[in-house]
Structure 1
Amino acid sequence: MTLPSVETFERAGLEAWPGITVQWDGNWVRRASGGYTKRANSAQCFDPADDADVDLRIISASSWLIVNGAKPVFRITPLSAPALNQALDQAGWVEIDKSHLYAMELGAHEPDAEGRSLSLLDPEFLAAQQKLQGHDDAMLVRMRALLAVMAVPACGIVVHRDGEAAAAGLMAISNGIVIAGNVITDPTRRRQGLGTAMMRTGLAWARDKGATIAALNVQADNPAGKALYQSLGYSHQYDYSYRIPGAPK
């Protein structure tokens, strides 16, 4: 099977991890979600040829993000217009969080005996995410608000050990592509196969729901995460990063 194009993956990601407030400007999209994750609080170009009035659109997108409670951030992918990158370079925007998109054809996976699939707003899933991610109550409120607007088939996964949440993540399906996110393991229980158990449980759920492709985002400086996903069959598809304004000179 040939895996989908960059645009197909990016549009699936747009649906699977939406913004609470969204505005399109041609083929540029702006998303704001109270500051929870850069992906849902950033601007992004979906067409390399959409490069008219780049400087003005950078200013407009930045102002829109600030007005909607987010910091100025651009998500840069292979779809970004070269003129956008050049303008950001000239304006002194810096690159952060170099990352990869990994994907694979979705085969059969065996769920963990102590894994559970829950609704995204289930108190058990939210409590597991808060505990394992180390979120304070304010951050949990932001996360919950974003999860509440997700309109695609999605679930939260929690794997237990000794009666406690030991690993968690979420799965969201768009156009047959299941995208994993918020993957986290109890730091005191690492190297016990819990991340693998959680992922397999979620991928089994997604296959049952009709997904045929699996994808996820992983930071370039996360060797443990990359090793985990490669062991499951994921492979590197393309790179992306974020740009933020540099410090004033």
Structure 2
Amino acid sequence: MMPDANALYDVIDGTWPAATERREGPWLIRDGQGGGQRVSATVAKAPFTGADLPAAEAAMQALNQPRLFQIRQGDETLDQLLAENGYQVVDPVNLWVATVDDIATEFPPPVTAFQVWEPLAIQLDVWAKGGIGPDRIKVMHRAKGARTALLGRLNDSPAGAGFVAIHNGIAMVHALEVLEHQRKQGMGRYFMRLAAFWARDNGASHLSVVCTQANKGANALYSSLGMSLAGQYHYRKHGDDL
């Protein structure tokens, strides 16, 4: 059975984890320590009312983080509450998934895509050029399950980097970055194929990835690979913190 959105939310949290998490009433407060929205957004974990909102806001501000919530499937009440309190929609995201056998059908050409852990200096350089800095690299090191880093080469030079980790038998690709001058040559497809082979070899049944809806090229790639759209999430950030 194909994992649904709720299963993939758990995979996101397991493969791209916050530095710390704690409950504040109905809220899960996450300390991202500079690792981006995915690890710092607050999530609703129990029924709430508008009276519970200030506690979440204070907790986020105490961490020197923006007032940011992740809106998941079934969070329509929270979405409405935040809209009424000055929060704006930020970065809607698609959740893609496929069985590993559907993606691990053709190995990348020789000397094109590799996997290695820990990341090499050249991978760190590629990520840095794409805005994936040291705080996000620390997120990769926090992942508890099997994990690896991807390195791509095209035209006898570095082409890209990515990260893959497994949680509950589902692999998820993160931080997929292809250098601008190496794009539109199939590197993203090679990375996904390699990730699927690695995931299968490490006991995963499915391969997944999250992608902002605004990234038309990446969404087209995942669709063309035969991946299924399992759901979405988006963020709400307070207008004063934008």
- Alpha-carbon shift at residue 229 of structure 1 (Å): 0.7
Shift of the 161–65 alpha-carbon distance from structure 1 to 2, 3 Å rule, reads: same
Specify the SS of the correspondent of 1:156. Answer: strand
TM-score (norm. length: structure 2): 0.89
Deviation for aligned residue 1:120: 4.4
Corresponding position of 2:39: 40
Do the aligned partners of residues 26 and 110 (structure 1) sit closer, same or farther apart at CA in structure 2, a change above 3 Å counting?
A: farther
Instruction: State the match for 1:215 in structure 2.
Output: 208
Which amino acid is the alignment partner of residue 65 of structure 1? M
- Matches of 1:161 and 1:85, distance apart in 2: 44
Q: Cα distance 1:194–1:86, how it changes in 2: closer, same or farther (>3 A)?
A: same
* Higher relative contact order, chain-length normalized (CA < 8 Å, sep 6+): 2
Amino acid at match of 2:38: R
Mapped pair 1:199 → 2:198: no
Percent sequence identity over aligned pairs: 23
Specify every segment of 5 or more residues in structure 2 that has no aligned partner in the other structure, as ranges. Answer: none
Q: 1:30 Cα shift?
A: 2.0
One-letter identity of the residue aligned with 1:151: K
- AA partner of residue 98 (structure 1): P
Q: 1:1-249 counterparts in 2 under 5 A?
A: 2-25=1-24, 28-46=27-45, 50-52=46-48, 54-80=49-75, 82-107=76-101, 108-112=104-108, 113-114=110-111, 115-131=113-129, 133=130, 135=131, 140-247=133-240
CA distance in structure 1 between the partners assigned to 2:209 and 2:54 by the alignment: 30
Q: Deviations over 1:47-90 (max 9, x none)?
A: xxx323x334332222222222321111111042x332222121
Report the secondary structure of 1:39's partner residue.
helix
Extract unaligned runs of 5+ from structure 1. Answer: none
- When structure 1 is superposed on structure 2, of 182-191 and 24-33 the one drifting more is 24-33
Root-mean-square deviation over aligned CA pairs: 2.0
The one-letter amino acid paired with 2:91 is D
**Is the CA contact (8 Å cut-off) linking 1:109 and 1:201 kept in structure 2?**
no
Question: Stretches of 4+ moved more than 4 A in 1?
Answer: none
Instruction: Report deviation, 1:22.
Output: 1.2
Any conservation in 1 of the 2:106–2:193 contact (CA below 8 Å)? yes
* Number of corresponding residues: 237
Q: Distance in 2 between matches of 1:25 and 1:121?
A: 35
Cα deviation for residue 10 of structure 1 reads 0.7
The separation in 2 between residues aligned to 1:60 and 1:245, in whole angstroms, is 14
- The structural deviation recorded for 1:127 is 2.6
Between the aligned partners of 1:39 and 1:6, the Cα distance in structure 2 is 15
Letter in 1 for 2:124: L
Distance 1:206 1:199 in 2: 10
For the 8 Å contact 1:6–1:79, the answer to whether it is kept is no
Equivalent-residue separation in structure 1 for 2:237 and 2:188 (angstroms): 31
